[in-house]
Structure 1
Amino acid sequence: MQLSNEEEDYNLSLSKFESMLKTNKVLFFDSEEFEEIILHYLDMGKAALAKKALKLALDQHPKSTGLKLVQVEMLVFDDKLDIAERLLNELYAIEPTNEEIFIQKANIYSKRDQHEKAVEFLKTALEYTDDYADVYNLIGMEYLFMDNLEMAKQNFIKCLEEDFDDQSALYNVVYCFEFLDQNLDAIAYLNKYIDKNPYSEIAWHQMGRLYYGVKDYENAIRAFDYATLIDDEFLGAFMEKAKAFERLNKYDEAIESYKRTIELDDATSYALLRIGKCYEKLGNKIQAIKYYNDTVHEDPLLDKGWIAITDFYVRQKDFQKALFYVNKALAIDNQNRLYWKRYASINKQMNFFEEAEFGYRKAVEFGDHSLDTWLFWVDTLQFLGEFESAIQTLLQASEYFPEENEVEYRLAGLYFMIQDNTKAKFHLSNALRLNFDNYILLEDMFPVVWKKKMVQNYIAKHKKE
């Protein structure tokens, strides 16, 4: 590829400068050449070389405003804000209409978290600049720092009116619309933007995301299609399109789009997992399990992969294989509550109640405090005849669910089982108050208790009240 004259000059300047450093010969560069060299090193993260170039530059061009502004930028970068501000004041006395002075002043105040003051300086910069887009973008960023999303949005829109190709401003304006929960307004804005700039794959992609967000999946796919037509290697658009196809139950099309992402880049565990899910929805069990296995091979730490395989075999009622895979998952991460809950429920299905109880206990220990987990655990303890442990577990659960009738009915039943009638009546009274009609729980779970005349009378009395 042939380089432009500007690029050739730029590369020559860099080579000449680096040659000078090696030979210790002092060569002459004009001030603009120095600016480009310094900014190049800053962009590369080579601060020491940038400072060395700046020192040589100021030795050769001590009165260059451009170089002094670069010096200010470096001082701000090093958090030497007071020195930078003094230098800017000196420059202002020489060039009071130089917009870069006001931009750097704004940068200093932004670093001090004085964003309103920064906006004032940027508005002054607008009076002198030719690059309105850049200044509007900077104002937008300051309003973002102040959490004023409406003003940020307006300035990013002004930036795009000046420069349609500013992709960061386009992303930011959509972010503001979304944060303000103005998805439909954002779609309307992007439609206008696309009328003027129809080949912006970013705009089409963002529109697709917004349509997806409002559950208009057909229009989302149409937008993603345009994005991928403009850029047939737009991985993100293919991924989003696949998700939209899934929402419409168009699993073949979803698989095609997910596979395209794998062609464009290394396979991701997410794409492999989704392909597996799609194949399972299509009833293709062989391909489904193949992709689930590929998922955990790609990322053994992804719990969703192990859960997908385990749940697949549970749905097939192949509990031996389901248990095999959940044990493999636990060997990798034995503190994952999702794995422990599945371990428990699979063992319960296989009538291994002691293992099931252990699994539920571990799931709760590692943070699963959902009601059904507590109740499954308690019911397993009850089945094992461990009434006291079941009561203690329910009392723990009641701290999370203080007004839950299912907890209260179980406590009542268990207290009756251990002949503590006072506490049993207390919890039965609570349960009947919370949900009278659910007293059938006692009949289902505690048939011995249900047959007690005392219990029948207590329920009948409560009904009359």
Structure 2
Amino acid sequence: MHLSQNEGHHFSLSKFESMLKTNDILFFDSDEFEAIIFHYLEVGKIALAKKAVRLGLEQHPNSIHLLLFKVEIFIFENKLEEADNILNNLHKIEPSNEEIYIQKANILSKKDKHQEAIKMLEIALENTTDAPDVYSLLAMEYMFLEDFENAKNNYMKCLEIDQEDYSALYNIIYCFDVLEEKGESIKYLLSFIELNPYCEVAWHQIGMQYRHLKKYEEALDAFDYAIISDEFFIGAYLEKGKVLEKLKRYKEAIQNYQITLELDDPTAFAFLHIGKCYEKLGVEDLAIHYYKKATHEDPLLDKAWIAITDFHCRKFNFQKALYYINKAIQIDEENILYWKRFSKINKKLNFLEEAEKGLQKSLELGNYELETWITRCDLLINLGEFETAIQSMHQAMEFYPDTAEIEYRLSGLHFSINQGVKGYAHLEKGLQIDQEYVLLMDYVFPNIFNRPSIQKLIAKYKA
């Protein structure tokens, strides 16, 4: 069904589009219509593909291929019953046509009937002249069923027939990873390499597997072979750079990242990692230079903004750190990592209201870590916002019930606003959960902690 687009097909396309503009009816043979439809489907112009199918069937009403294109469009539009009806009629005419079974499998897959889809594809496999495509479709159905073993085996069959099907190779490695079979993955790749010694993709994947296993020297060898196989393989240079960083060979890592900048358009990722390497080498001016280049190249790369912010924090230059984290927030105000740093930096600068605002924003964005709730509560206590702190701790209890750190804070807060009954209740609850944590009341509420009645209750539980 899928035809190559030679010069004649390009002429047919121009002729067809000219016909649409003038409303003239011109004759095309069925092959020309197939090429036109295939082109429009490939580029996603579904409306034009539908027009071509309609006009094609008006001129060639019995064309099996054009009817199959109509089925394909029906399936795309989720008109599954209409598609199935056409396929049933076509099956009576050409019961050995593989495309009928493939499209039936497509319909069943859309209905989440993956086992039935597999049966259809197995019939298609018996009738096909293009087995790799069918094996790939079978593998995908097994992926839907989360049967990664069978998915892997079918992708392997694709690769046995077409050893340049790198999509199948990537999917095989993905299945190995899901099955947590890294050793088997490497063995498979090495056996593949024996037949394809200059396959840069396979060498690259071997390197990735070794890197995940922290076998860095073996990973370096694999990435070197990938580069020997294809000296323009940017991914291999990037991964080699990351491994060299792990080995603290920062100058060599920089060289590899620099090569990627020469081979293609610069990337924020490369700039960021060059900056990190220079920082490790103590060349701080170049580190900052490349961090800035990373933020300029891709303002949405949060790791770049975090790197430059953390750099200034490590230098205790909190004003500069605040400047950069504010710039980051202006670009992406829904990034939790930015708001957490915004809070910590403002706390260092003793801007407590701003620090509390950062944590409140983190919570609003879904950062429900206990530390976030606790730190915000302590800031509210320092600001004298006892009622708000109580409300915040009650919200925290929904996520962390029976937590001593929360109970003791609620106890101190209620005592602070002269609600003794509630204060004692939360103190007792805290003592029941964890007596050791009661010392944090001495840290957060020293005056309340030293009250005789409080000490008496604590002593009673300890006894």
The TM-score range, normalised by the shorter chain, is 0.7 to 0.9
Determine the structure 2 residue equivalent to 1:71: 67
8 Å CA contact retained: 1:242, 1:254: yes
Q: Residue 57 of structure 1: CA displacement?
A: 9.5
8 Å CA contact retained: 1:37, 1:53: no
Q: Secondary structure at the match of 2:277?
A: helix
Q: Quickly say closer, same or farther: Cα 1:366–1:107, change in 2 above 3 A.
A: closer
8 Å CA contact retained: 1:310, 1:325: yes
What are the equivalent positions in structure 2 for 1:353-432 lying under 5 Å apart?
A: 353-432=352-431
Structure 1 segments unaligned to the other structure (5+ residues): 1-5
8 Å CA contact retained: 2:34, 2:65: no
CA distance in 2 between counterparts of 1:449 and 1:25 reads: 92
Q: Secondary structure at the match of 2:6?
A: helix
Q: Residue 310 of structure 1: CA displacement?
A: 1.9
Structure 2 segments unaligned to the other structure (5+ residues): 76-81
Q: Quickly say closer, same or farther: Cα 1:427–1:34, change in 2 above 3 A.
A: closer
CA distance in 2 between counterparts of 1:127 and 1:138 reads: 14
Determine the structure 1 residue equivalent to 2:6: 10
CA distance in 2 between counterparts of 1:26 and 1:374 reads: 72
Determine the structure 1 residue equivalent to 2:78: none
Q: Quickly say closer, same or farther: Cα 1:252–1:84, change in 2 above 3 A.
A: farther
Q: Quickly say closer, same or farther: Cα 1:45–1:410, change in 2 above 3 A.
A: closer
Q: Quickly say closer, same or farther: Cα 1:355–1:119, change in 2 above 3 A.
A: closer
Q: Residue 193 of structure 1: CA displacement?
A: 1.4
What are the equivalent positions in structure 2 for 1:143-292 lying under 5 Å apart?
A: 143-292=142-291
Q: Residue 317 of structure 1: CA displacement?
A: 0.6
Q: Residue 32 of structure 1: CA displacement?
A: 6.4
Q: What letter corresponds to residue 264 of structure 1 in structure 2?
A: L
8 Å CA contact retained: 1:432, 1:439: yes
CA distance in 1 between counterparts of 2:413 and 2:105 reads: 70
Q: Residue 216 of structure 1: CA displacement?
A: 3.1
Q: Residue 147 of structure 1: CA displacement?
A: 3.2
CA distance in 2 between counterparts of 1:327 and 1:19 reads: 57
What are the equivalent positions in structure 2 for 1:19-30 lying under 5 Å apart?
A: none
Higher mean displacement: 100-109 or 236-245: 100-109
Q: Residue 333 of structure 1: CA displacement?
A: 4.0
Determine the structure 2 residue equivalent to 1:3: none
- Counting matched residue pairs gives 450
Higher mean displacement: 343-352 or 332-341: 332-341
CA distance in 2 between counterparts of 1:362 and 1:122 reads: 51
Determine the structure 2 residue equivalent to 1:120: 119
Q: Quick check: 1:454 aligned with 2:453? A: yes
1:15-64 alpha-carbon deviations (Å, 9 max, x no partner) = 378569869897897x767755654554455664796599669958x88x
8 Å CA contact retained: 2:57, 2:67: no
Q: Quickly say closer, same or farther: Cα 1:427–1:247, change in 2 above 3 A.
A: farther
CA distance in 1 between counterparts of 2:56 and 2:68 reads: 16
Q: What letter corresponds to residue 91 of structure 2 in structure 1?
A: N
1:303-338 alpha-carbon deviations (Å, 9 max, x no partner) = 333322222111111122122223333334445443
Q: Quickly say closer, same or farther: Cα 1:389–1:216, change in 2 above 3 A.
A: same
Q: Secondary structure at the match of 1:78?
A: helix
Q: Quickly say closer, same or farther: Cα 1:130–1:366, change in 2 above 3 A.
A: closer
8 Å CA contact retained: 1:275, 1:291: yes
Q: Quickly say closer, same or farther: Cα 1:22–1:217, change in 2 above 3 A.
A: same
What are the equivalent positions in structure 2 for 1:39-50 lying under 5 Å apart?
A: 39-40=38-39, 42-45=41-44, 48=48
8 Å CA contact retained: 1:73, 1:104: no
1:260-299 alpha-carbon deviations (Å, 9 max, x no partner) = 3332332222332232223222222211211222222223
CA distance in 2 between counterparts of 1:377 and 1:369 reads: 11
Q: Quickly say closer, same or farther: Cα 1:128–1:280, change in 2 above 3 A.
A: same
CA distance in 2 between counterparts of 1:399 and 1:231 reads: 56
Higher mean displacement: 97-106 or 450-459: 97-106
8 Å CA contact retained: 2:223, 2:240: yes
TM-score (norm 1): 0.83
Q: What letter corresponds to residue 10 of structure 1 in structure 2?
A: N
8 Å CA contact retained: 2:148, 2:175: yes
8 Å CA contact retained: 1:54, 1:71: no
8 Å CA contact retained: 1:20, 1:27: no
Q: Secondary structure at the match of 2:257?
A: helix
Q: Quickly say closer, same or farther: Cα 1:75–1:443, change in 2 above 3 A.
A: closer
